[in-house]
Amino acid sequence: MKLLIKQGRLVDPVGGIGGIMDILIEDGKVAILASEIQEPDAQVLDASGLTVCAGLVDMHVHLREPGFTEKEDMESGSRAAARGGFTSIACMPNTNPVIDNPEMVRYVLNRAADIGLVHIFPIAAVSIGQKGRSITFAEPLRQAGAVALSDDGNPVASANLMRDALIRAQRHGLCILSHCEDASMVKGRAVNEGHVSRRLGLNGRPAIAEDIMVMRDVMLAAETHSPVHICHVSTRGAVDIIRKAKCRGVPVTCETCPQYFTLTEEEVLKQGAIAKVNPPLRTEDDVSAILEGIKDGTIDAIATDHAPHTAQEKALSLLQAPSGISGLETAFGIVLTALYHTGVMSLAGILRKMTLNPACILGIPKGRLAVGADGDAILFDPLERWTVRPEEFASKGKNTPFAGMELTGRIKYTIVGGSIVYAHENAH
């Protein structure tokens, strides 16, 4: 099977290739990149007026299957990913049962193959049952297909367990993705500690709860010479700690999510539990620090932390409702609107944080659109304006504080292995 993408503006943040190009994908791989390609027996996709790049890679997704399929399942999550331009996603293990053994890793891979839409890479748990008592067995998990380890949603409280896990994971070529919050400081608390929590009469989640755990894990990574990846960074303190650690050569990487550089705690006053996330939305100063970290390279990747919930759950009170945003279908538009169209970052810089960097952290061969690479690509219009309408989401989760927001930049086609898995209804 051959797919010929004609006359799109190619953006390759790695090779520096750019300009109007033709791209031939044959047998699932990029075969030719050239200014003009003639291939009579290929399916032709007219990309004139559109930008073409490697498919997006999301290293932090909650697909909810098995166990919580009323929120999301792997098929609906895959469709949401394709609609959002993500051709590769890594799914967190906080399912029921937990992805903490090779059998569960294989279940995820087999389901993904049956669905056949986007690449799904399983992340297995750091501790058995995500209970933080005993660590999982890294080698058989890796052999089964796990690409990383994480107890995301349940911070690893024990420094000793985290240290052992880092050493063993590094031995078997795996990175640990760490949710950094001191649980004793945030349990049962819904919003950032500050004037919003005081106005609501609630105990808040202090920023120091994130900073303390970031510092701990950075110190453990330095001492063990083992890589650690800090999930969903949301505070100025965390950005500063990671920046200084990188300058010392500590093997630490990190991600943030669109909500942490576009929204503040004030959103909770407007939208209630719809704006409840974990970690919580912070202050204007924290948002500024996140933007600085994105711009100067301290923050390596932009992930979604896609966390779909039912409407009934999100209709509960702030204290009772679960945390999370359904993020796969809005992330790219938000990033282009907030970072590219404001001049904060170049398009190539943004794409690096959403393609190659997360792929490299996970150690997966994705994130490049070069000859010999997998034929995973997106075509998008960076100037098209559109309004976020959750009722149109492919995800079961319609929970987003971005509902009604006008964004600039829209996915038109998503291609996986040379097959078009998503085409916007008005693609051209």
The verdict on whether 374 is a catalytic residue reads no
Residue 21 CA to residue 418 CA, distance in Å, equals: 16
Residue 390 CA to residue 404 CA, distance in Å, equals: 9
Residue 10 CA to residue 26 CA, distance in Å, equals: 18
The answer to whether the CB of 277 falls within 8 A of the CB of 191 is no
- Please choose, from the candidates 10, 76, 81, 78, the residue with its C-alpha nearest in 3D space to the C-alpha of residue 48: 10
Residue 69 CA to residue 396 CA, distance in Å, equals: 9
Q: Are strands 2-11 and 18-26 parallel, antiparallel or unpaired?
A: antiparallel
What tokens does 275 get?
């704006």
State the Cα angle at 272 between 69 and 239, rounded to 5°.
85
What tokens does 358 get?
């997360």
Burial 270-285 (b: 16+ CB within 10 A, else e): ebbbbbbbbbbbbbee
Residue 345 CA to residue 262 CA, distance in Å, equals: 15
The active-site residue out of 73, 100, 305, 374 is 305
Q: For helices 207-224 and 159-171, what crossing angle results, to 10°? A: 50
Residue 84 CA to residue 100 CA, distance in Å, equals: 28
Q: In the chain, what is the greatest distance between 2 CA atoms, to the nearest angstrom?
A: 68
7: left (phi over 0), alpha (psi -120 to 50) or beta: left
**What single letter denotes the amino acid at residue 360?**
C
Residue 177 CA to residue 183 CA, distance in Å, equals: 17
- Phi–psi pair at 23, nearest 5 degrees: -130, 125
DSSP track, 347-384: HHHHHHHHTHHHHHHHT-S-S--STTSB--EEEEEEEE
Catalytic positions are: 305
